[in-house]
Structure 1
Amino acid sequence: MSAGGKQVGPTVSQMLAEARRRFAEGGVSDPATDARVLLAGLLGLSTTEMLTHGAEPIAADTAGIIEAAIGRRLAHEPVHRILGEREFYGLPLSLSAETLEPRPDTEILVDTMLPYLRKLAATEGNIHILDMGTGTGAICLALLYECPQASGVGIDISDDALRTARANAQRNGLQDRFEAIQSSWFENIDGAFHVIVSNPPYIASSIVHDLAPEVTKFDPVAALDGGEDGLDAYRAIAKDAKGFMRPNGLIGLEIGYDQRRHVTAVFEACGFKLLECVKDYGHNDRVLVFSLAD
């Protein structure tokens, strides 16, 4: 079919139904959501616009792009990897090959740390944040966006991740308060910070490759593999953090669902005390907050 000489494909509603059907048949865990998010992203439409534009035909070349994207999702590539971006705490963030795709559970770390940041800002004025293993910059940038008195440093060992984090800071107007530094943990870091945050690699090496193919094939292994027992990163942070903290400083960490006791023991052995443990949406322990022990 053609309109004004331009090849026209199916309507938005037809393409959405087709994607949903193929995802369901292909075993995608949430076919309706994935179909809606994928098409909305590719067409540049909001969820509401997907409904109001349902009867509109899609240009044949655009339909071809959507067909290719459907095939990629059926090959286990996550929707947001296909789109190249994901929203985190209301901020649009670009993804790249060496960045972990930010998860909703990680927003709990931001939710948890914001009251502490605001309290510190009320007494200290300007505050300084260190985000260890920054990846896309998600955690640090969300905290900076919500707390105008804060500035932050994001460290990562990956050049690709650091480029992505800098671009995301620029994209969200936070470049003047965010610095990305290549560093293996504290190796290239100077100064003292009010808050240290991290969503480090915390999966035991032996089970990394047993994860869903959406994770193992598309998330960087370096952002997942926490060593033999999953605790290597926590040990690295706990061992040296004291030398980079203000006396009233705090550490906020994302952890695996079964790691509360082990991570707490690691930090207590290095002179910290647990202030708070917060559960995720599945009622699993997900965030720990530490301060220096008295």
Structure 2
Amino acid sequence: MAEASPATLGALLQDARRLLAEAGIAEAALEAQLLVEHFTATTRVEAIAAPERPVAAAAADALMEALRRRRDGVPVHRILGYREFYGLRLTLSPGTLEPRPDTETLVDLVLPHARRTVARTGRCRILDLGTGSGAIALALLSAVPQAEAVGVDICEDALATARANADMNGYGARFRALWSEWLRDVEGRFDLIVSNPPYIPTADLDTLSREVREHDPRRALDGGADGLDFYRAMAQGARRHLAAEGAVAVETGHDQKAAVEAVFSACGWRLVVAARDLGGRDRAMMFRPQGNA
């Protein structure tokens, strides 16, 4: 009996697109490309130039299993085990939120402040609360060579992942991971305190997409009854860790700008600048203590 011919790169890509489209996945073509490239160790150029290239059975089988998982609701980047963020490749783990492009809005918002701080003092000390994969802190370290950062999280798995990402991207010497229940065990003062805190109201968690609801850690999503618990904690506690001329910046839900501003204002902060994401939705805000220029 003749052996079956090996699968080809082009056929696998076509099958992957079809399977994901049939499952109702919105970006089926893009996700198929990502999965095929990852599990066959090929590039988009190779798929175009050499579609008849044979693919080993083990790689084809691994791809089919990945497609099955994606059809079952596992996010594509959880399957790959990493995600690109601000030009960095970041490993994901069960304890980390999957960093998303909306959060790059927060990085862009605070970069001018970080650079002004360096121009004034020669350095910028950053505190990233709820660091997860280390995405925000490491993006800032990549853009500001004179900066150093402390990433805080309550999850040991997340802290280990953040440390690994810092080392993998070449920023390990400027990044320190710290276990703390929010600000409780933080010491020292920082020029910039940043956070993408949990901000989904508890009652809304079950309405999130399957990919988020079942695969992002709940504690990284649940912001309490009104979604504002962690903003209150920052507004009440951040000042004692803020250096002179320092600032606090947060990501917010698209409909939370007024509520978050009210929380900070009630604790003696003023809004300095806000930014919208690429979809035109309110996404990030930066505050300084009232009375500071």
After superposition, the C-alpha distances for 1:27-57 in whole angstroms (9 at most, x for unaligned) are 1111111111111222233333332342211
* Paired amino acid for 1:126: R
CA distance in 2, matches of 1:101, 1:54: 32
Q: What is the match of residue 168 of structure 1?
A: 165
Q: What is the match of residue 261 of structure 2?
A: 264
Q: What is the match of residue 15 of structure 2?
A: 18
Q: What is the match of residue 226 of structure 2?
A: 229
Which of the residues 182, 188, 195 maps onto 2:185? 188
Structure 2 segments unaligned to the other structure (5+ residues):
none
Which of the residues 63, 77, 83 maps onto 1:80? 77
Deviates more, 1:31-40 or 1:224-233: 31-40
* Paired amino acid for 1:47: R
* Paired amino acid for 1:133: G
Distance 1:8 1:182, change over 3 A: farther
Kindly state the Cα deviation for residue 292 of structure 1 after the two structures are TM-superposed.
1.3
Kindly state the Cα deviation for residue 274 of structure 1 after the two structures are TM-superposed.
0.4
Which of the residues 40, 45, 48 maps onto 2:42? 45
SS at match of 2:55: strand
CA distance in 2, matches of 1:274, 1:148: 27
CA distance in 1, matches of 2:217, 2:5: 39
CA distance in 1, matches of 2:43, 2:210: 28
Cα-Cα RMSD: 1.2
Confirm or deny: 8 A CA contact 1:8 1:59 kept in the other structure: no
CA distance in 1, matches of 2:91, 2:189: 29
Tell me the matched-pair count: 290
Kindly state the Cα deviation for residue 126 of structure 1 after the two structures are TM-superposed.
1.2
Kindly state the Cα deviation for residue 247 of structure 1 after the two structures are TM-superposed.
1.9
Q: What is the match of residue 71 of structure 1?
A: 68
Deviates more, 1:132-141 or 1:117-126: 117-126
Matches within 5 A, 1:107-126: 107-126=104-123
TM-score (norm 1): 0.96
Q: What is the match of residue 88 of structure 2?
A: 91
Confirm or deny: 8 A CA contact 2:39 2:60 kept in the other structure: no
* Paired amino acid for 2:225: E
After superposition, the C-alpha distances for 1:124-163 in whole angstroms (9 at most, x for unaligned) are 1111000000000000001001101100000000000000
Kindly state the Cα deviation for residue 119 of structure 1 after the two structures are TM-superposed.
1.1
Matches within 5 A, 1:219-258: 219-258=216-255
Matched, 1:177 2:174: yes
* Paired amino acid for 2:89: P
Kindly state the Cα deviation for residue 12 of structure 1 after the two structures are TM-superposed.
1.1
TM-score (norm 2): 0.96
Q: What is the match of residue 213 of structure 2?
A: 216
After superposition, the C-alpha distances for 1:208-261 in whole angstroms (9 at most, x for unaligned) are 111111111110000001000000010111110000001210111100000000
Q: What is the match of residue 155 of structure 1?
A: 152
* Paired amino acid for 1:205: T
Q: What is the match of residue 197 of structure 1?
A: 194
Kindly state the Cα deviation for residue 8 of structure 1 after the two structures are TM-superposed.
5.5
Distance 1:239 1:30, change over 3 A: same
SS at match of 1:206: helix
After superposition, the C-alpha distances for 1:161-204 in whole angstroms (9 at most, x for unaligned) are 00000000010111100000000111111100000010000000
After superposition, the C-alpha distances for 1:256-294 in whole angstroms (9 at most, x for unaligned) are 000000000001111111011101111110000111111
SS at match of 1:275: strand
Matched, 1:62 2:59: yes
CA distance in 1, matches of 2:274, 2:42: 39
